[in-house]
Structure 1
């Protein structure tokens, strides 16, 4: 009675069902592990993206600050250039001193400086001693 073909077929069908269930459960478990690994990877990528986004925002803020500073320095440079030009126009004596300084740098002697720049000897000597050191 135990070895009847219907019983054997039922037993085989039960064993096949259990094997299929075991294979399905194993595959489901593997896919769950893969899903968990992918979830961890996504969280890490999200954190990395957020970190990069924050760094970019900080760089943008610094860039804006630097741009403002450069604009301010450019404005100040323009003002200084205007002031320098005004001073050059107002102070013809300053031009003579600049010319005398260039002459000293080119190796002119005291008499040449006095003659070319219409400068007293004491001033020419002082200029020579200052710029030859």
Structure 2
């Protein structure tokens, strides 16, 4: 009976079937572990994406707020510039001081400033001193 070729063939077929089942089960376990690892990775990536999305939304809100603030500041700067021009037109003395400051920048001496701008010596000296402080 043990040496019967049909019995040996059946026993070999059974052993091969068991081996095939063992290999299939092993491959299934490996694929299950990979699937679980991929699921964990997917959840982690989703959390990261949500976190980055939230940060991006916060940055966008900050940028919008900053843009509004810059627009307000530009408007204020425009009004101040207009007021400064109005004051310069109303005050003829400021034209003389602007001219004197320009002359100082170009290297004029006290005598030239006094003569061209009809300015007393003390004011001309002050203009020269202020220019030296700026440099």
Please give the range of the TM-score, normalised by the shorter of the 2 chains.
0.7 to 0.9
Q: Counterparts of 1:131 and 1:44 in 2: how far apart (Å)?
A: 63
Q: Confirm or deny: 8 A CA contact 1:114 1:124 kept in the other structure.
A: yes
For structure 1, the 5+ residue unaligned runs are none
Moved more, 3-12 or 78-87: 3-12
Tell me the residue number matched to 1:12: 12
Cα distance change on mapping 1:130 and 1:28 into 2, 3 Å? closer
Q: Counterparts of 2:12 and 2:47 in 1: how far apart (Å)?
A: 52
Cα distance change on mapping 1:91 and 1:22 into 2, 3 Å? same
Shift of 1:6: 4.4
Shift of 1:55: 2.4
Q: Confirm or deny: 8 A CA contact 1:101 1:131 kept in the other structure.
A: yes
Shift of 1:3: 4.2
Shift of 1:123: 2.7
Tell me the residue number matched to 1:85: 85
Residue 68 of structure 1: SS of its match in structure 2? helix
Shift of 1:14: 2.5
Cα distance change on mapping 1:121 and 1:19 into 2, 3 Å? closer
Cα distance change on mapping 1:109 and 1:18 into 2, 3 Å? closer
TM-score (norm 1): 0.82
For structure 2, the 5+ residue unaligned runs are none
Q: Counterparts of 1:61 and 1:94 in 2: how far apart (Å)?
A: 44
Moved more, 107-116 or 16-25: 107-116
- Length, aligned pairs only: 133
Cα distance change on mapping 1:4 and 1:85 into 2, 3 Å? same
Tell me the residue number matched to 2:29: 29
Q: Counterparts of 1:128 and 1:22 in 2: how far apart (Å)?
A: 99
Tell me the residue number matched to 1:46: 46
Q: Counterparts of 1:130 and 1:115 in 2: how far apart (Å)?
A: 19
Q: Confirm or deny: 8 A CA contact 1:104 1:132 kept in the other structure.
A: no
Q: Counterparts of 2:22 and 2:48 in 1: how far apart (Å)?
A: 39
